[in-house]
Amino acid sequence: MLRRASIAALLVASSILTACGSSGDAPEAVPVSDTTSATPTTRVPRQVDQSDRPLVVFDPCLDIPDEALVEAGYDPQTKEEDAVAADYHTFLICSFDTRQRQYGLNVLSSNITFAEQQKKIRDYSTPIEINGRRALLEVRRAELDTCTVSVEASYGILIVSRVLFSTRSDYIPAYEDWCNGLEETASIIARYLPVGTEHE
């Protein structure tokens, strides 16, 4: 229930309706080279909308290697797949858990534009950069169970969101520590995005 509620909140925050811990507690990343190149995806996406937006060519359930998830601290065997395709946009969604079920990770790939996302969350986001791409860090005091990074992609945006499971109420990070490590997680996943929108 928490997983679906957090995804629904992300979709609302990401313009889906516009057309109608301490650093030691975050999932630990294992350093590897950040020069991994993405292989262009040529398959038809598992969901396609009726708009003239680009196809969502990066599928987080198919294009994130297991070793990247392990590096970021998540269990590939916990993968849950979802998708939303409306007349005016598409979201391909994949979710993962840490092995200790302390955190969940929602990864959404969409053909809404970075500009649309920027406008939608401008009051509670901070511009950052992930692997040379424009990105936004989003955290709201009213929703301390999530922190989100939106990354510009050639077809739209990639959204990486960490969720604190309510069953782990014994672990509540301080507000200033809540997003620790999420930019690194987004960087690991963004390595596999199609090349073409690195911001100069």
Please check whether residue 40 is in contact with residue 76, taking contact to mean a CB–CB distance below 8 angstroms: no
Per-residue pLDDT, 4: 55
The pair of structure tokens assigned to 32 is 């590897």
* pLDDT tens-digit series, residues 17-73: 444 433 345 555 444 444 444 444 467 888 888 899 999 999 999 999 999 999 999
Among 122-126, 154-158, 193-197, top mean pLDDT goes to: 154-158
* pLDDT tens-digit series, residues 69-89: 999 999 999 999 998 878 889
> In a 3-state reduction of DSSP, which class is residue 3?
helix
Instruction: Find residue 93's DSSP bridge partners.
Output: 82, 108
Per-residue pLDDT, 175: 63
Average pLDDT over residues 155-183: 77
In angstroms, rounded to a whole number, what is the distance separating the alpha carbons of residues 133 and 136?
10
Name the average pLDDT for the chain.
79
Per-residue pLDDT, 7: 62
DSSP 51: S
Per-residue pLDDT, 170: 58
Name which residue leads in pLDDT, 175 or 130. Answer: 130
